[in-house]
C-alpha cells in the first residue's frame, strides 16, 4: 500500500503543478487570487516573525528583571549576615529554574543553591546576547560584583529558559494556526471576490460572442458599470459602431456599384439581343446599337476605374508621386483642353499667378478635371466657368466658379459621399456616377488641403481649394 502511495504521489504533484501553471497563464481570477494570497501571506509571515521575536525578547527581559531582583535580595542578605557562611542559600533553592552561585575573585565556585555542583561554572558577561547555551540548555544570567570583608566576590544568578521556551512554542503554534485559518479564509473570499470583480468581463465575453455579422446592432450593457470596465465597454461599443458603419457603407457601396453596373450591362445586352434578332440587316439600328454599346462600355470603364481608384485609396495602396511644378501652367493646360472638348461654355481665368507647388501633378489635375466636368454638366449652355489660382495667407487657393443650377442646401453636406447624387434623374442624363467628388476629396486630402463649397440654387457654385505651398 505504501509503495502504491509513493508511486502515485509524484504524478499527483506534477499534475497539480501543471494545473497551477495553466491557471497562472490563462486565468486572471486565479492570478489575482494568487497575488493577493501571496501578499497577504508574506505580510502575515513578517508580522508573525516580528511578534514571535518581540514575545521572546519580552520573556527574556522579564527573566532578566527577575534575576536582577534576586541578585539584589541576595546581596542584601549577605551584607546583613556579615558573611557567606551563615548565608541562607536554601531560600533560593526553592525557586524553580533559578540557581544562585557565588564565585571568588579567581572565578572559583564558593557556594551554590544547586545541590549538584559539578556542572556549575562561571559565565562571563557578554554584550552580544544575554542568552547562552550550556549543556544543551539555554541559560540567562546576571552577574553582580560585590566586596565583603575586604574580599571580592561575584554573585551570579542564572535561570534556564525551559519555561519561556514552552511559552514561546505555544505562542508560535497559536500564531501558525491563526495564520493558517486566515490564509484559508483569504483564499476563499479572495477567489469569490476576484470572480465577482471579473463577472462584468464574463458578461462582456458572453455578449461579444452573441455579436455576429447578422447581429452587429448588439451592444455591451454599461448602465450598471461605474469603474474602468465601463470605459472598456464604451470603447468596445464605439468600435462596434465604427465596424457597423463600415459594414453598412461597404454593403451600400457594393449595392450602388452593382446598380450602376446593371444599367449599362442591361443596355448592352438589350442592343446585343436586338442586333441578334433582326438588327444586323438594318444599318440605322446597327449604327444606333454600336453607338450605344460603345457609350455604355465607356461609362462602365469609367465607373470601374473610379471604383478601383477608391479601392486602392481605402487600402492605402494608391501611389502619390509629388514633384515641384508650376500651378499656373497646369491651370492653363486644363483650360486649353476643356475648351477643345466643350464649346458650349465660356471657360476662362481671372487670376492665375505664376507659383511653384510640391504635389502630385497628375492627381491634382484629375481632381480639378472632376470639378470642371461637374461644372460643365450642371451649367446651362452659354454659362461661364472660371478657374483661378492665387496666394492667400501663405497657401495656394484654387477656385472653380460656375453659373450653373447650384446645389440645394440640404444636399451640400453629402456631395462628397460615394454614389450620392443631388438630382438622380438629371445626373443620369449627364452620365454621373456619384464617385468623382469622393475621388477629388481624397486627392486634396492627401495633399493636406481643404475644400469649401458655396452654392445657391439657380445662381451657381463656387468651390475653393486650399493647398499648403510647402507640403514636403
Supply the CATH number for residue 361's domain: 3.30.565.10
Mean pLDDT of 301-329: 87
In this structure, the number of other CB atoms found within 10 A of the CB of residue 346 comes to: 14
Residue 454 domain-assigned (yes or no): yes
324 shares a domain with 429: yes
Residue 413 domain-assigned (yes or no): yes
Domain end: 292, 313, 334, which one? 313
How far is Cα 439 from Cα 419, in angstroms, rounded to an integer?
A: 11
H helix or E strand, kind and range, residue 152: strand 151-160
371 shares a domain with 257: no
352 shares a domain with 442: yes
Tell which wins on pLDDT, 24 or 15.
15
Residue 324 domain-assigned (yes or no): yes
- CA 52-57-61 angle, to 5 degrees, is 150
Reply yes or no on whether the pLDDT at 471 is more than 60.
Answer: no
Mean pLDDT of 123-130: 64
DSSP string, 241-302: HHHHHHHHHHHHHHHHHHHHHHHHHHHHHHHHHHIIIIITT-HHHHHHHHHHHHHHHHHHHH
371 shares a domain with 309: no
443 shares a domain with 327: yes
DSSP state of 352: B
Distance of CA 74 to the CA centre of its chain: 76
With both helix axes pointing from N to C terminus, report the angle between 327-341 and 361-377 in degrees, rounded to the nearest 10.
Answer: 40
- Which CATH number belongs to the domain containing residue 257 in this structure? 1.10.287.130
The number of helix segments (H) and strand segments (E) in the chain equals 11, 12
Domain end: 273, 298, 313, which one? 313
Specify the pLDDT at position 157.
81
325 shares a domain with 309: no
Domain end: 313, 340, 366, which one? 313
249 shares a domain with 338: no
Q: CB–CB of 360/321 below 8 Å?
A: yes
342 shares a domain with 240: no
Task: Residue 400: name the closest of 360, 366, 428, 373 by CA.
Answer: 373
How far is Cα 71 from Cα 67, in angstroms, rounded to an integer?
A: 6
Prediction pTM value: 0.53
Reply yes or no on whether the pLDDT at 436 is more than 50.
Answer: yes
Q: CB–CB of 180/209 below 8 Å?
A: no
404 shares a domain with 348: yes
Specify the pLDDT at position 429.
52
How far is Cα 233 from Cα 303, in angstroms, rounded to an integer?
A: 41
Mean pLDDT of 386-413: 92
327 shares a domain with 307: no
Domain count of the chain?
A: 2
Domain housing 414: 320-468
Q: How confident is the model at residue 20 (pLDDT cuts 50, 70, 90)?
A: low
Residue 453 domain-assigned (yes or no): yes
Residue 272 domain-assigned (yes or no): yes
Distance of CA 4 to the CA centre of its chain: 50
457 shares a domain with 361: yes
244 shares a domain with 265: yes
Residue 195 domain-assigned (yes or no): no
Partners of 437 in beta bridges: none
Tell which wins on pLDDT, 464 or 151.
464
Q: CB–CB of 204/233 below 8 Å?
A: yes
Specify the pLDDT at position 47.
92
Alpha carbons within 13 angstroms on the beta-carbon side of residue 457 total 6
Mean pLDDT of 193-203: 74
Average pLDDT, the chain: 80
Residue 379 domain-assigned (yes or no): yes
Residue 17 domain-assigned (yes or no): no
Specify the pLDDT at position 2.
45
- Residue pointed to by grid coordinates 492627381: 363
DSSP string, 89-136: THHHHTSTTEEEEEEETT--EEEESSS--TT-------SS-SEEEETT
Specify the pLDDT at position 135.
54
Task: Residue 47: name the closest of 162, 139, 176 by CA.
Answer: 176
With both helix axes pointing from N to C terminus, report the angle between 199-210 and 228-274 in degrees, rounded to the nearest 10.
Answer: 10
Amino acid at each position: 500500500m505504501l509503495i502504491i502511495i509513493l508511486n502515485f504521489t509524484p504524478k499527483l504533484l506534477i499534475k497539480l503543478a501543471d494545473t497551477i501553471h495553466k491557471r497562472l497563464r490563462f486565468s486572471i481570477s486565479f492570478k489575482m487570487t494568487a497575488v493577493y494570497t501571496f501578499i497577504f501571506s508574506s505580510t502575515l509571515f513578517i508580522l508573525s516573525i516580528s511578534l514571535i521575536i518581540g514575545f521572546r525578547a519580552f520573556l527574556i527581559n522579564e527573566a532578566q528583571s527577575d534575576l536582577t531582583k534576586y541578585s539584589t535580595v541576595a546581596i542584601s542578605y549577605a551584607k546583613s549576615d556579615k558573611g557567606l557562611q551563615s548565608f541562607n542559600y536554601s531560600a533560593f533553592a526553592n525557586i524553580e529554574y533559578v540557581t544562585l552561585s557565588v564565585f571568588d575573585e579567581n572565578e572559583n565556585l564558593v557556594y551554590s543553591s544547586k545541590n549538584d555542583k559539578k556542572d556549575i561554572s562561571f559565565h562571563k558577561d557578554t554584550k552580544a546576547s544575554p542568552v547562552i547555551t550550556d549543556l544543551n540548555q539555554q541559560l540567562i544570567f546576571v552577574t553582580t560584583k560585590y566586596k565583603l570583608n575586604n574580599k571580592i566576590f561575584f554573585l551570579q544568578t542564572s535561570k534556564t529558559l525551559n519555561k519561556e521556551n514552552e511559552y514561546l512554542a505555544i505562542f508560535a503554534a497559536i500564531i501558525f494556526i491563526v495564520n493558517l485559518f486566515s490564509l484559508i479564509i483569504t483564499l476563499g473570499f479572495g477567489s469569490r471576490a476576484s470572480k465577482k470583480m471579473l463577472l462584468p468581463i464574463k458578461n462582456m465575453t458572453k455578449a461579444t460572442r452573441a455579436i455576429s455579422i447578422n447581429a452587429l446592432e448588439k451592444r455591451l450593457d454599461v448602465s450598471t458599470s461605474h469603474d474602468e470596465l465601463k470605459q472598456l465597454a464604451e470603447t468596445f461599443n464605439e468600435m462596434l459602431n465604427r465596424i457597423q458603419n463600415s459594414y453598412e457603407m461597404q454593403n451600400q457601396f457594393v449595392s450602388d456599384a452593382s446598380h450602376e453596373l446593371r444599367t449599362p450591362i442591361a443596355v448592352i445586352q438589350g442592343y446585343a439581343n436586338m442586333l441578334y434578332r433582326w438588327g444586323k440587316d438594318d444599318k440605322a439600328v446597327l449604327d444606333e446599337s454600336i453607338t450605344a454599346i460603345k457609350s455604355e462600355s465607356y461609362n462602365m470603364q469609367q465607373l470601374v476605374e473610379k471604383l478601383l481608384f477608391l479601392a486602392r485609396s481605402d487600402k492605402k495602396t494608391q501611389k502619390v508621386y509629388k514633384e515641384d511644378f508650376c500651378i499656373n501652367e497646369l491651370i492653363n493646360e486644363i483650360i486649353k483642353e476643356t475648351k477643345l472638348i466643350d464649346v458650349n461654355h465660356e471657360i476662362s481665368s481671372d487670376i492665375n499667378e505664376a507659383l511653384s507647388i510640391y504635389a502630385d501633378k497628375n492627381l491634382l489635375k484629375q481632381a480639378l478635371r472632376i470639378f470642371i466636368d461637374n461644372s460643365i454638366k450642371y451649367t446651362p449652355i452659354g454659362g461661364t466657368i472660371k478657374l483661378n489660382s492665387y496666394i492667400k495667407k501663405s497657401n495656394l487657393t484654387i477656385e472653380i466658379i460656375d453659373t450653373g443650377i447650384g446645389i440645394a442646401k440640404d444636399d451640400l453636406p453629402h456631395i462628397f459621399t460615394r454614389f450620392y447624387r443631388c438630382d438622380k434623374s438629371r445626373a443620369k442624363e449627364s452620365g454621373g456616377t456619384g464617385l468623382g467628388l469622393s475621388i477629388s476629396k481624397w486627392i486634396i486630402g492627401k495633399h493636406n488641403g481643404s475644400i469649401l463649397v458655396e452654392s445657391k440654387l439657380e445662381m451657381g457654385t463656387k468651390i475653393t481649394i486650399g493647398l499648403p505651398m510647402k507640403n514636403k
